[in-house]
Amino acid sequence: MLTKRLKADKEGIEQAAKILKNGGIVAIPTETVYGLAASAYDENAVTKVFGAKGRPQDNPLIVHIADIEDLKAVAKDIPNSAYKAAERFWPGPLTMIFKRTDKIPASVSAGLDTVAVRMPSDKTAREIIKQSLPLAAPSANTSGKPSPTKAKYVIEDLDGKIDAVVMSGDCAVGVESTVITLVTNPPRLLRPGAVTVEELKEIFPDIAVDSAVLAEPKKGERVSSPGMKYKHYAPKTETYLVEGNTEQFVQFVNSKENAAAVCFSEEEGKITVPKLCYGTADDEATLAHSVFSVLRRADDLKVNAIYVHAPSKNGVGLAVYNRLIRAAAFRVIKL
Ligand code: TXA
Ligand code: MG
């Protein structure tokens, strides 16, 4: 299949919407990461999304809407707090899970009776959704690889497997949306993102953080968010997450042979092995913006092991830590 490159302009947006309405699949930019979209009401198109990504059938998709009025069509038993959260955080990087209406095919939710919904803030995404229908869209990467924050990463993974890519700029946030479920009491954070736990507490004071956010689910354990159980975001090279201060980290990586470091900018000059920087330690937003790019480029360093200096778990740092611990297959070294 020839994958069309569409511009993020009026004509490109119209073409993308047309392909989607006709049952095609299109990668679109959002403020978090690029998504691989299909009409959420079209079971056949949704099946194509799973196929192109090589995504396990038991991992449900997020439904994207452009207007709060559209929430009722896809979700039911919507608590009042959800409208408050929507007012505060939508459009933006928050996904909320509700009971699913019959309009949403079971395959979107991988057979669960719930549905995850989000309203992106990216202008191009919003316009495409308005002109098509609610869109089911996972991140536009091959399953297991880092989520794409640039159009070229989408092409790297999916060229020839999807109908089109809307070529826009780099994603502003860089990590996927915060996912919470409102089906449980109290509500639970399933995946951290740019909407932080601290901010969520303003609307959901009793919100719980799912154990899978920071720890490896035990074998056979039922996870609330199926996506949490898979090894994710991983370079091919063996990757480790390293906790410690600058002095400890620098000494540790410099003593390793055939290894590379993913480090903070302020450490760059002191590290003698190959390295990639992902921002300064105290600027979690920049770390989030760069983390997937760095993970994608890590294999180019052609070493036997990659040691990543762990970020703080403050604010959006928790999301960065959550992605890195999966990239490292839960191998954490505490110095
Ligand atoms: O920022 C984002 O959320 C991006 C952009 C494209 O919107 N999308 C994204 O989708 O990250 P995906 O499919 O890569 O991640 C969706 C996550 C998975 O961990 C999945 O298991 C979880 O949300 N999820 C989706 N529906 C769910 C449901 N009904 N119950 C529990 N978890 C759900
Ligand atoms: Mg994904």
Return the pLDDT at 229.
66
Q: Residues 6 or more apart from 179 whose CB is under 8 A from it?
A: 62, 95, 97, 116, 189, 190, 191, 193, 225
- Under CATH, which number does the domain 4-223 receive? 3.90.870.10
Please give the distance, rounded to the nearest whole angstrom, from the Cα atom of residue 228 to the centre of ligand 1: 10
Average pLDDT over every residue of 229-240: 83
pLDDT class of 171 with cuts at 50, 70, 90: very high
Fold of 238-334: Rossmann fold (3.40.50)
CB-side neighbour CA atoms (13 Å) of 291: 37
Question: Is residue 202's pLDDT more than 70?
Answer: yes
pLDDT tens per residue across span 71-102: 999 999 999 999 999 999 999 999 999 999 99
Atom of ligand 1 at shortest range from CA of 32: 1
For residue 225, pLDDT over 80 is answered with no
Q: Kindly indicate the confidence band of residue 174, based on its pLDDT and cuts at 50, 70 and 90.
A: very high
pLDDT above 80 for 222: no
State if residue 194 touches ligand 1 by the CB under 6 angstroms criterion: no
Once rounded to an integer, what is the mean pLDDT over residues 291-304? 95
Name the residue of 55, 61, 90, 291 to mutate for ligand 1: max ligand atoms within 8 A of Cβ: 61
The minimum-distance atom of ligand 1 relative to the CA of 120 is: 7
* Average pLDDT of the segment spanning 242-255: 98
The pLDDT assigned to 231 comes to: 67
3-state secondary structure 271-304: CCCCEEECCCCCCHHHHHHHHHHHHHHHHHHCCC
Burial 233-248 (b: 16+ CB within 10 A, else e): bbbebebbbbeeeeee
Q: Please, what is the average pLDDT of the chain?
A: 96
Q: The pTM is what?
A: 0.97
Residue 169 has pLDDT above 80, yes or no: yes
Which pLDDT band, with edges at 50, 70 and 90, does 279 fall under? very high
Q: Which atom of ligand 1 is nearest to the CA of 139?
A: 14
Please work out, in degrees rounded to the nearest 5, the angle formed at the alpha carbon of residue 95 by the alpha carbons of 90 and 96: 100
Sequence ranges of the domains in the chain: 4-223, 238-334
Q: What's the 272 CA to ligand 2 centre distance in angstroms?
A: 34
Cα–ligand 2 centroid distance for 174 (angstroms): 12
What pLDDT was estimated at residue 223?
72
Atom of ligand 1 nearest to the CA of 93: 1
What pLDDT shows up at residue 209? 96
> Is ligand 1 within 6 A of the CB of residue 109?
yes
Rg (alpha carbons) of the chain, rounded to whole number: 20
Find the ligand nearest to 110 CA. Answer: 1
Question: Confidence band (pLDDT; 50, 70, 90) for 230?
Answer: low
